[in-house]
Amino acid sequence: MSDTLIIFIRAVAAFVSMMIFTRILGKKSISQLTFFHYILGITIGSIAATLSTDVSLKPIPQWVGLATWVALALVFEWIILKNRWWAKMLDGEPTILIHNGKIMERNMAANHYQITELLEELRGKGVFNPADVEFAILETSGNLSVLKKSQAQPVTPENLNIPTRYEGVPTEVVQEGQVITQNLKQLNLDKKWLLSRSKLRDRQYTFTLSIKY
């Protein structure tokens, strides 16, 4: 069997294994990954890549190594859920960088966070003056959560005692010219209803209509 065919078969096996393992590990968007999870993902991906392309190594030990890393990740996830101390050790804790408009320089230094980075993050959230911030918290994922002071926050209908109407969550029932039957069933609707409403605008439903070129 040629090396090309072997690599193809191993790549397919590694791809399927990664799909299964990522489903087992659960869903987390990149923005929610802690440093531990980030390094874990890189390591598992590296093992999968080696399993796919390094024909000098036997595939079974490589696959066992990949499965072992995934199993260890599951064990540590369970430990983190059950033990607060281990959660702090592996994921860390959120850190306050700004309190009542004052930059906490000691916390900044402990997290190797520069003033320029802080100001850039604040500008990205529409804050150009740190004095307008009640709390700025560096999350374990590396994101910065910002709570503006009450006098710097935008006015809401609640502040003005203006009544609002609940609109619900928009649901797509037509996408790329195709009717999404499953979504219609979840809404207890049918195609007859869709044909009667497709030319009207309705706040509760989103119609994604497209023209084929």
Is there a single domain that holds both residue 83 and residue 139?
A: no
Is there a single domain that holds both residue 14 and residue 58?
A: yes
Question: Of the candidates 129, 152, 175, which is a domain's last residue?
Answer: 152
144/90 Cα distance (integer angstroms): 19
Is there a single domain that holds both residue 38 and residue 84?
A: yes
Among 31, 20, 7, smallest CA distance to 142 is for 31
Is the pLDDT assigned to residue 102 strictly greater than 90? yes
Domain, as residue range, for 147: 95-152
Is there a single domain that holds both residue 68 and residue 117?
A: no
CB contact at 8 A, 14 and 37: no
Question: Of the candidates 39, 56, 89, which is a domain's last residue?
Answer: 89
CATH number reported for the structural domain that contains residue 116 in this entry: 3.30.240.20
Q: Look at residue 207 in the predicted model and tell me its pLDDT.
A: 47
Is there a single domain that holds both residue 14 and residue 84?
A: yes
CB contact at 8 A, 34 and 91: yes
What b/e sequence results for 29-51 when a residue is b if at least 16 CB atoms lie within 10 Å of its CB, and e otherwise?
eeeebbebbeebbeebeebbeeb
Angle at 83 between CA 77 and CA 89, to 5 degrees: 75
Q: Look at residue 27 in the predicted model and tell me its pLDDT.
A: 57
Query: What residues contact residue 115 under an 8 Å CB cut-off, 6+ apart?
Result: 103, 108
**pLDDT averaged over the chain?**
80
47/71 Cα distance (integer angstroms): 14
Q: What is the C-alpha R_g of the chain?
A: 25
Number of separate domains in the chain: 3
Is there a single domain that holds both residue 69 and residue 100?
A: no
pLDDT band of 208, cuts 50, 70, 90: very low
Among 1-10, 120-129, 193-202, name the one with the lowest average pLDDT.
193-202
- What is the value of pTM for the model shown? 0.56
Q: Is residue 158 part of a domain?
A: no
Residue 58 main-chain phi, psi, to 5 deg: -70, 140
Is there a single domain that holds both residue 84 and residue 99?
A: no
Q: Is residue 161 part of a domain?
A: no
185/193 Cα distance (integer angstroms): 11
